[in-house]
Amino acid sequence: MFSVIFEQYNYAVVIILMMTGLYVVFASRNLIKKLVGLSLFQTSVFLLYITIGKVSGGQPPIIVETHGGDHALLEPVLVAAAAPNDAAAYAGQSDILYSNPLPHVLILTAIVVGVATLAIGLALVVRIREVYGTIEEDGINALDYHYNLEGTDE
C-alpha cells in the first residue's frame, strides 16, 4: 500500500495540487483567489506532463557527441518521440537512453497559454473593479440584482 504511494509520489503531488486548485476555484468568492486556484490547477497539469516524460535510466534528451555530430543521431530521438514508453524501440539503434523531450515541449506551450489566460483574467478583474468597485462575487451579484430584474439601475 505505502510502497505504491512512495513509488508514484509524483502522481500524489499532482493530485493534491489539482484538487487544491479546483477547490479554491469553486469555494472562494473573491475573483483574484479564483484565478490563483486556476493557476494552481493548471500548474498541476504541467507537473503531470513533465513527470511522464521521464524514462527510467534515461539521460536528458541532449544528443551526446560520440559520433561526430552525425545527423543520423536524430533518429533515436524521433523514435523516442514515437514510442516514449517503449525503451526497446530505440535501444537497438543507439546505446544511449534518452528521456522523452516531447512532454516538455508541449508544456512550454501550455505554460504560455496559462500565462495568457491569467493575464486576461487579471485584466478582467481590473475592469470589474473599475465598474463595480468590488472584486467579491457576492457584491457583484448584489449590485446586478436589480439590473437583472428591471433592466435599469435603481
Q: Please report, as ranges, the residues that interact with another protein according to CB under 8 A.
A: 22, 25, 31, 34-35, 38, 41-42, 45, 48-49, 52, 78, 81-86, 102-103, 106, 109-110, 113, 116-117, 120-121, 124-125, 127-128, 131-132, 140, 144, 147-149, 151
Closest to 73 measured CA to CA, from 99, 94, 56: 94
CA distance 35 to 38: 5
Q: Record the cell numbers describing residue 107, joined without a space.
A: 508544456
- Residue 103 is placed in which grid cell? 512532454
66 vs 133 by CB, closer to another protein: 133
47 versus 96: smaller Cβ distance to another protein: 47
* Phi, psi for residue 59 in degrees, rounded to 5: -105, 170
Min separation Cβ 96 and another protein, Å: 19
